[in-house]
Structure 1
Amino acid sequence: MAGGERIFVQAIRRYSADHGIAVDVRAGGWLIAMRRGNERRFAFGYDIGLNSAIAHRLANDKSATSEVLALTGVSCIAHHLFLNPKLGGNVVGAGWRDAMLELLHENPQGVVIKPNEGTSGRSVFKVTNEAELDHATGEVFSMCTGLVISPYVAIEDEVRVVLLSDVPLVVYSKQRGTDWRHNLDAGAKPVLLADGETRTACVKLATEAARAIGIVFASIDVVRVDGEWRVLEINSGVMMEALGKLHPELVQATYDAALDRVFGEN
């Protein structure tokens, strides 16, 4: 096994070895071909192919996710989409910066600016004034075709729920470190949640969110703000690298259950 290989890739290798599946790992582990007889399946990034194309696209688009959840009455954090002005005036329109400033003025506590697509908390900025707004939008637009702006809220707790067809396979909180974000790549620590009121509330909300966009296998981040739980985002690719270092058997069992579904196992 190659050194430094992602836990996701290792999990697929272990499952495949136990089920007579040939594995061909390409592109540094980001493309995995799995073959058993005449049956061939693929994993790409952290996606193993259980979700429909539209569910996958909705989940990977923060603005689209928040719009669909709002339409279906699922409590969520709003994400307002802004397209890169380099796409041209006919696509973007002339008032994009004024609309950004309006959102900033409506939220004196600040706003959060981040890419519309992407994970792990990269290129995420907290903005409280016009100069910070211009810096953040310049940074994000330098690498993305779209960004989202959401109101900055004081997050009391953040919980991730990994669902497979409404069944919660993993539920853990993200214990924040010195950073204001709860991203695991920013130093937050995953702590498994025991049965109780908090776990029940988070699973219920995550299940409602998954049903709203029609997704089968996903990780849903929910946050508590002013004592109320809201959906922050939905991830079509289920990444459990940090959790896998602490609870490898649970992570393997979760990927095994999803891969069982991929290959039609009971």
Structure 2
Amino acid sequence: MVLISQRIFLETIKKYCLAHKIAIEIRSGGWLVIMTRDGQRRLAIGYDLGLNSAVAHQVANDKAACAEALAAAGVSVIPHTLFLGAKLSKHIPGSDSFDAMLRLLEQHPQGLVVKPNEGTSGELVVRVSTRPQLERAAARILAAYPSLAISPYVEIEDEVRVVLLDERALIVYGKTRPTITGDGTHSLRELARRAVAAEQLNTATEDFSAAELEVILPAGERRILNWRHNLDAGAEPVLLADGEARDACVALAIKAAKAVGIRFASVDVVRANGRWQVLEVNSGVKMEALGKRHPDLVEAAYQAALDEVFA
């Protein structure tokens, strides 16, 4: 795996090591970092600095297991149900049951969200409301991943990410989905091209059919482009001001981190049906999109984590 060397995560590690006289080796195109000082050898891989235990890391990366662990600890969480692909399902009878998936769809007529049970950046996260859609989504995900998770679709009013280090909130920011306003002249597709980066256009507009994208929006009509709040789908990070909402999100995120036993993580908290719930916990703390707007803040967060790595 080759990554661009300008990743803020990697650049921050390089700056930190230089400032603290730590020898650094960058391997695998920047995916693996080896840091050595006074006989101490520390590793960073992906967006993981190594502060979390193996169990906490694995639970956080397993969406269904994480949801169950949080629910068992009394944390308000969006439920996720695990389904296994052919290679794993033989070990747990019924874990590949499409009938069980259909029953979930019947229980939630507003729809379901189907996603890889382990995955990041919103890849292959699909909203379904019919049997054919569910069949296609499950087949597509299980062709690429060993398992999938299904959660009920809920209308998310707000989504907030809380970056925590040892139960201390380092950064709290919301994710604002791209919105367009009709002018009576341009099509939805043309307006979307102005609203999001070219590389995000397909992802940001995938909720619309080809015909819908060619519709001319009436002047003044506003549309949210994507039901997802993923930054890779065009959403923008916005720092959350002090107040009741921020306090509620931080308190819930800390409760979730304690339940999982994780030290350094980002916790996604959503407001749906008027209450805050945990959507997921991320063991790898990726802040590239936020770093484009607030590089000093992101660097400070990673540096605080690195201080703990070499404490």
Tell me the TM-score normalized by structure 2.
Answer: 0.82
Q: 2:228 aligns with which of 176, 181, 192?
A: 181
Pair 1:109–1:196, CA change in 2 (3 A): same
Instruction: Confirm or deny that 1:32 pairs with 2:65.
Output: no
| Matched AA of 2:137 | A
Q: Deviations over 1:99-156 (max 9, x none)?
A: 0000011000000000000110000110100000110001100011110000000000
Tell me if the contact between 2:23 and 2:35 (Cα under 8 Å) persists in the aligned partners: yes
Pair 1:94–1:71, CA change in 2 (3 A): closer
| Matched AA of 1:204 | A
Q: 2:305 aligns with which of 247, 258, 263?
A: 258
1:94 Cα deviation from its structure 2 partner? 7.5
Instruction: Confirm or deny that 1:65 pairs with 2:63.
Output: no
Distance 2:35 2:287 in 1: 20
For the aligned residue pairs, the C-alpha RMSD in angstroms reads 1.3
1:88 Cα deviation from its structure 2 partner? 5.2
Tell me if the contact between 1:82 and 1:146 (Cα under 8 Å) persists in the aligned partners: yes
* Equivalent position of 1:216 in the other structure: 263
Tell me if the contact between 2:67 and 2:79 (Cα under 8 Å) persists in the aligned partners: yes
| Matched AA of 1:220 | V
Q: Which runs of 5+ in 1 are unaligned?
A: none
Distance 2:75 2:91 in 1: 33
1:91 Cα deviation from its structure 2 partner? 3.6
| Matched AA of 1:152 | Y
Q: Which runs of 5+ in 2 are unaligned?
A: 179-224
| Matched AA of 2:108 | N
Tell me if the contact between 2:84 and 2:96 (Cα under 8 Å) persists in the aligned partners: no
* Equivalent position of 1:9 in the other structure: 10
Instruction: Confirm or deny that 1:204 pairs with 2:251.
Output: yes
| Matched AA of 1:69 | L
Q: Whose Rg is larger? A: 2
After the TM superposition, which segments of 4 or more aligned residues of structure 1 sit over 6 Å from their partners?
Answer: none
Distance 1:105 1:247 in 2: 44
| Matched AA of 1:34 | M
Q: Percent identity?
A: 58
* Equivalent position of 1:247 in the other structure: 294
| Matched AA of 1:118 | G
* Equivalent position of 1:232 in the other structure: 279
* Equivalent position of 2:221 in the other structure: none
| Matched AA of 1:243 | L
* Equivalent position of 1:77 in the other structure: 78
Q: Tell me the secondary structure at the aligned position of residue 156 of structure 1.
A: strand
Pair 1:78–1:252, CA change in 2 (3 A): same
1:11 Cα deviation from its structure 2 partner? 0.8
Residue correspondences, number: 263
Instruction: Confirm or deny that 1:150 pairs with 2:148.
Output: no
Distance 1:194 1:91 in 2: 46
* Equivalent position of 1:18 in the other structure: 19
Distance 1:95 1:62 in 2: 17
Tell me if the contact between 2:16 and 2:303 (Cα under 8 Å) persists in the aligned partners: yes
